[in-house]
Amino acid sequence: MLNNPYVRTIVLSRVLLNLGIWVRNFAILLYVTDMTGNNPVYVSLISVVEFAPIFLFAFIGGTFADRWRPKRTMVSSDVLSAVSVFLVLIAVHNGSWQALLVLTFFSAVMSQFSQPSAMKLFKQHVPADQLQSVMAMFQSMVAFFTVIGPIAGAFVYQKFGIETSLIATGVLFLGSGLILILLPRDLQKETQSQQQNLKQELIEGLRYVWNNQALRTLGATFAAAGLAAGLIQPLAIFVTIENLGQDKSFLQWLLTVNGAAMLVGGGFVIAFAKIITPQTLLALGLTVSAIGNVGIGWSTSIIFTMLLLVLNGFFYPTIHIGINTLILNHTEGPYIGRVGGTLTPIFMGMMVLGMSLGGLLKDQLSLFTVYTVSSLLFLTGSAMLIPLFKKKTSKAAVLEQ
């Protein structure tokens, strides 16, 4: 896979970009808590400005990514993110820490243009039988930074302070953009037809998803999985305190175990990607998550809970790898950005809804009940994939005839 110049170059740029994002996120989180005396409103705003662009710009960003040349779009996004970091650095130096929220928002907006452009390049230049392996590689990279990112971000901030953290972030973003310049020149011209305006392209994208059975199925699965994940997202701290009887600081070890298992799981998928279909990967990940969540909500044993977190973490990458591969396999190149921009907000929207309801349901019912509801939703999402398996079987029967 790394012999492919598109894969190799984008992987190298994403290493720098992911590291920059983690340094930025943790530096901002720690700095804002220091400046506001752990004010929960401002701490919550950090999450809002990270997730809001997904709702506001994912579909628009995906539409423009379909229009524009992907290399130029990705380079411009990273360079503009770097410039915004240095502008915010000046504001912070002059005492305006609120500018950090603007930085996070702007950088997240740029991601909504850059990410679909990368997917578009993979669709165009990666052989179909390697797409799942490439998605597995990227998911492993995400898992890797989930483990080391918080450590790196906290170290840079605590050792050198917010200004040095921002300088490091800007340099890493700029480095990512410079690496992307090494991509082969865009061959596809920008598709800004005089007969088709942005509104028409947006409507075309929605119609394309609705008319594609596989993508409609994924949308329903996204909704169920997003709600399931959101319900338990804020409750891990209660598993630590109430079920396991540990101090809240023990949560970091649970997260580390889970993140390390994700890294190994991503490597497993890379090794076996060519013999496992993406719908099988997705269904497997959702089903294992359902089983693991019931156990985690019930367990009062540290060892058993950690084993379940290892199980969940190992199979968690199969969910994202399966989803991304299915999107690429069932979407034509000109629609990649708009399809991703349609489906991603569904997942994130239901996840935020679940996060809003999780704490309330826990207070009204119980921790175990909420985890059980989450498991049922994961199973529902898995069951929704049955039409994709039937479609695969019918195609195989036709080929045999």
Q: Given this model, what pLDDT does residue 167 score?
A: 94
Residue 98 main-chain phi, psi, to 5 deg: -60, -25
Q: Do domains 5-181 and 209-400 have the same CATH topology?
A: yes
CATH homologous superfamily of domain 209-400?
A: MFS general substrate transporter like domains (1.20.1250.20)
Q: Given this model, what pLDDT does residue 196 score?
A: 54
Q: What is the pLDDT along the chain (401 residues), one digit of tens a residue?
A: 778 888 889 989 999 998 998 888 878 877 887 887 766 567 667 767 777 777 677 777 777 777 788 888 889 999 999 998 888 888 888 877 788 888 888 888 888 788 888 888 887 888 877 777 787 787 778 777 877 777 788 788 888 988 999 999 999 999 999 999 998 876 655 544 444 566 676 677 778 878 888 888 888 888 898 889 888 877 777 888 888 888 766 776 887 788 788 878 877 777 776 678 888 888 998 999 999 999 999 988 999 999 999 998 888 888 878 887 888 788 876 777 777 777 777 887 788 788 778 777 887 888 899 899 999 999 999 998 888 876 655 444 433 44
Residue 178 main-chain phi, psi, to 5 deg: -65, -35
Q: How would you classify residue 375: left for phi > 0, otherwise alpha for psi between -120 and 50, otherwise beta?
A: alpha
For the chain, give every domain's residue range: 5-181, 209-400
CA distances 168 to 63, 97, 103, 176, 277, Å, are 31, 17, 14, 12, 40
CA distances 297 to 136, 145, 300, 350, 397, Å, are 29, 26, 9, 21, 43
Residue 228 tokens, joined = 């399931």
Q: Given this model, what pLDDT does residue 380 score?
A: 93
Q: Which fold has domain 5-181?
A: Growth Hormone; Chain: A; (1.20.1250)
